[in-house]
């Protein structure tokens, strides 16, 4: 995996991307702030969300079994998947058994995480993305850069040009209504012909075996009701104990994600019902590293995430680099703490450092995940894992210098002596390695000629 600084450098060079990102994140941020300010009990709701998620993760084994029994009693079938390969194999088997050479899909990060589309393609089955933004990315061979607005890095004219080349030759308008109509015309027939629908899920209810998907376009409801067979893939952390718990999350999620009071479409289904909706329902309970995350008492907070994306929109790092720099379908602050834990720290060591630790993500998170705390916890793991880390050596050196006033004064004098000749107009613009890592992207104020200690001694 390309390291974050390397990937970010390429993204930062794209001025159009930065403009698109700035506009989009500012708009969503302002909408969210207005929607949240309307609720006098917002902080209590956040606290309730955190408490429910803690309860789930503390008793996950029993909630999973409860969910399985309730769903089977309602006519659904549960599959347990340890990893991506097992989950993908279930979907391929179901699609093959029903002779489907195409499945229609609801936007789902979990299916992106397990690379379901690629697995289906390898089996000769096309996975058609039906969410507007996901369709754009699929048509262009691109991938998501935002949890909620996957094509946030694209503007309307770029989308119009793409549609003209692919599904809507002759389209000339870049108005949202015209673009939506073009995708609607393209998708409608495919919905009606599909034999198998595939979805993720926002929540699964242990008490009743119910699955819940929230969305804005209605494509999700079509995928989950029109095809006679439905496969839903549910990360095991998505469970809620009781149906009544939805009351908390269906307030927290829309206000935090799209800045709306409620989601335009909230679909709930429990097993199968004669003559109504899919007649065969499969639910895949996916681990794929989640039990490993659960074992870490600090890092497990990342499993509370309800994928609202509020932390992305306030993050000063994400709003400049965009999502691709994070090298995962989970970008921004949540990606910086979730991806290293799911994939392993060796492969993703730079991600916990992709943050200024400003704490804005913690302030907006609807389930109060202390993202800065987890970032620091993971940084410590990265440093501990690398016995020869230059950072570790630097910290030891700093501790040694700070432990003695004499060494501290000497270090100050040496810093002034060696850096002043490099200063231009009071700023250091180019330092030798390893300090060049800092000055490659920004300058640094040169140390003052007179230190505080010298000045103080002179006064006395
Ligand atoms: S970490 Fe919190 S703010 Fe970020 S996406 Fe998850 S729930 Fe939303």
Give per-residue pLDDT as tens, 145-158.
Answer: 888 888 888 889 99
Q: How many whole angstroms from 337 Cα to the centroid of ligand 1?
A: 11
Closest CA to 434 of 388, 394, 402, 399: 394
User: What is the CA 212 to chain-centroid distance, rounded?
Assistant: 19
Indicate if ligand 1 lies below 6 Å from the C-beta of 366: yes
* Cα dihedral 411, 416, 422, 427 sign: positive
Cα(113)–Cα(79) distance, rounded to whole angstroms? 18
Nearest in space to 447 (alpha carbons), one of 424, 425, 421, 415 = 415
For atom 2 of ligand 1, the residue with the nearest CA is 365
Q: How confident is the model at residue 442 (pLDDT cuts 50, 70, 90)?
A: confident
- Determine whether the shortest distance from the Cβ of 235 to ligand 1 is under 6 A: no
Q: What are phi and psi of 283, to 5 degrees?
A: -120, 125
For residue 253 and ligand 1, the question of a CB distance below 6 A is answered with no
Q: How far is the CA of 392 from the centre of ligand 1 (A)?
A: 31
In a 10 Å sphere around its CB, with 0-12 CB exposed, 13-18 middle and 19+ buried, how is residue 39 labelled? middle
Lowest model confidence (mean pLDDT) among 213-217, 261-265, 436-440: 436-440
- Residue 308 CA to ligand 1 center (angstroms) comes to 5
CA distance 263 to 256: 11
**Residue 104 forms beta bridges with which residues?**
128, 197
Inform me whether the pLDDT recorded for 441 exceeds 90. Answer: no
pLDDT in tens, 364-418: 999 999 999 999 999 999 988 877 777 788 889 999 999 999 999 999 999 888 8
Would the pLDDT of 253 be above 90?
A: yes
What is the reported pLDDT for 383? Answer: 87
Q: Whose CA is nearest to atom 4 of ligand 1?
A: 311
Q: Is 335 in the pocket of ligand 1 (CB under 6 A)?
A: no
CA-308 nearest atom, ligand 1: 8
Confidence at 161, pLDDT banded by 50, 70, 90: very high
Looking at residue 297, what DSSP letter applies? T
As to burial, measured by CB atoms within 10 angstroms (0-12 exposed, 13-18 middle, 19+ buried), residue 336 is buried
The overall longest dimension of the chain from CA atoms, in Å, is 92
Structure token pair of residue 392: 């570790």
**Residue located nearest, by CA, to atom 7 of ligand 1:** 305
Nearest CA to ligand 1 atom 6: 305
302 lines ligand 1 (CB under 6 A): no
Ligand 1 touching residue 306 (CB < 6 A) = yes
Which pLDDT band, with edges at 50, 70 and 90, does 228 fall under? very high
Cα radius of gyration rounded to whole Å, the chain: 25
Q: 63 C-alpha to center of ligand 1: Å?
A: 23
- Output the CA 54–ligand 1 centroid distance in Å: 15
Verify whether ligand 1 is closer than 6 Å to residue 308 (CB atom). yes
Count how many Cα atoms sit within 13 Å of the Cα of residue 334 in the half-sphere of its side chain. Answer: 28
Comparing 13-27, 31-45, 288-302, the range with the smallest average pLDDT is: 13-27
pLDDT of the residue at 393: 84
CA of 430 to the centre of ligand 1 (A): 38
What tens digit of pLDDT does each residue of 180-209 get? 999 999 999 999 999 999 999 999 999 999
Task: For residue 310, give the ligand 1 atom closest to its CA.
Answer: 3
- C-beta of 310 in contact with ligand 1 (< 6 A): yes
Is there an atom of ligand 1 within 6 Å of 336 CB? no
CA–CA separation, 351 vs 372, rounded Å? Answer: 13
Confidence grade of residue 420 (pLDDT, cut at 50, 70, 90): confident
- In this prediction, residue 290 has a pLDDT band, given cuts at 50, 70 and 90, of very high
Centre of ligand 1 from the C-alpha of residue 242, in Å: 22
The response to whether residue 305 sits with its C-beta less than 6 Å from ligand 1 reads: yes
Q: Is 151 in the pocket of ligand 1 (CB under 6 A)?
A: no
Compute the distance from residue 188 Cα to the ligand 1 centre, in Å.
Answer: 33
From the alpha carbon of 147, which atom of ligand 1 is closest? 5
- Tokens 């570790």 sit at which residue? 392
Element (H, E) at 129: strand 126-129
For residues 274-292, average pLDDT: 96
Q: Which token pair is 198?
A: 């595939």
Which whole number is the average pLDDT over 248-272? Answer: 96
Q: Determine whether the shortest distance from the Cβ of 337 to ligand 1 is under 6 A.
A: no
Number of C-beta neighbours around residue 327 at 10 A: 21
- Determine if ligand 1 sits within 6 Å of the CB of residue 360: no
Nearest to 306 by CA among 352, 255, 360: 255
436 Cβ contact partners less than 8 Å away, ≥ 6 residues apart: 430
Token pair 């008490």 is found at: 207
Q: How many residues does the chain have?
A: 460
Range list of β-strands (E), 154-308? 196-199, 203-205, 210-215, 229-235, 239-240, 265-269, 280-286
| 309 CA: nearest ligand 1 atom | 5
**Ligand 1 atom, smallest distance to 306 CA:** 7
pLDDT of 51 higher than 80? yes
187 HSE (CA, 13 A, CB side): 28
Taking each helix axis from N to C terminus, what angle separates 132-140 and 176-193, rounded to the nearest 10 degrees? Answer: 90
For residue 446 and ligand 1, the question of a CB distance below 6 A is answered with: no
Residue 22, classed as helix, strand or coil, is: helix
Strand partners, 263: none
**Whether residue 367 has its Cβ less than 6 Å from ligand 1:** yes
């Amino acid at each position: 995996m390309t390291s974050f600084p390397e990937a970010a450098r390429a993204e930062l060079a794209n001025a159009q991307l930065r403009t698109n990102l700035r506009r989009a994140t500012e708009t969503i941020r302002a909408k969210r702030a207005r929607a949240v300010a309307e609720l006098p009990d917002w902080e209590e709701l956040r606290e309730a969300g955190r408490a429910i998620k803690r309860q789930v993760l503390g008793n996950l084994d029993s909630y999973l079994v409860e969910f399985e029994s309730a769903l089977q009693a309602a006519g659904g079938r549960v599959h347990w998947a340890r990893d991506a390969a097992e989950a993908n194999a279930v979907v391929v088997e179901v699609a093959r058994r029903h002779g489907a050479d195409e499945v229609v899909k609801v936007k789902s990060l979990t299916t992106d995480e397990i690379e379901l589309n690629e697995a289906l393609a390898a089996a000769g089955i096309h996975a058609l993305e039906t969410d507007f933004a996901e369709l754009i990315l699929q048509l262009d061979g691109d991938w998501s850069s935002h949890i909620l607005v996957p094509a946030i890095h694209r503007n309307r004219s770029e989308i119009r040009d793409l549609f003209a080349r692919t599904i809507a030759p002759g389209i000339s308008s870049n108005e949202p209504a015209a673009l939506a109509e073009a995708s609607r015309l393209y998708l409608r027939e495919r919905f009606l012909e599909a034999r198998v629908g595939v979805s993720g899920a926002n929540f699964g209810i242990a008490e009743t075996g119910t699955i819940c998907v929230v969305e804005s376009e209605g494509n999700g409801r079509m995928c989950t009701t029109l095809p006679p067979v439905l496969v839903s893939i549910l990360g095991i952390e998505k469970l809620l104990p009781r149906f009544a718990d939805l009351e908390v999350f269906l307030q927290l999620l829309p206000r935090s994600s799209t800045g709306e009071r409620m989601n335009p479409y909230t679909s709930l289904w429990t097993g199968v019902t004669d003559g109504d909706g899919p007649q065969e329902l499969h639910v895949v309970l996916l681990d794929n590293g989640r039990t490993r995350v659960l074992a870490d008492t600090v890092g497990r907070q990342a499993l509370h995430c309800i994928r609202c994306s509020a932390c992305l929109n306030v993050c000063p790092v994400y709003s400049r680099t965009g999502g691709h720099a994070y090298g995962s379908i989970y970008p921004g602050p949540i990606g910086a703490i979730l991806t290293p834990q799911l994939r392993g720290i060796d492969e993703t060591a730079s991600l916990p450092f992709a943050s200024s630790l400003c704490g804005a993500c913690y302030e907006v998170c609807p389930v109060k995940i202390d993202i800065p705390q987890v970032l620091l916890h993971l940084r410590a793991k990265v440093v501990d894992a690398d016995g020869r880390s230059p950072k570790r050596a630097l910290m030891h050196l700093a501790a040694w210098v700070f432990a003695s006033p004499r060494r501290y004064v000497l270090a100050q004098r040496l810093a002034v002596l060696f850096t002043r000749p490099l200063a231009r107009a009071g700023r250091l613009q180019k330092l030798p390695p390893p300090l060049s890592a800092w000055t490659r992207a920004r300058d640094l104020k040169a140390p003052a000629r007179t230190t505080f200690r010298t000045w103080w001694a002179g006064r006395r």
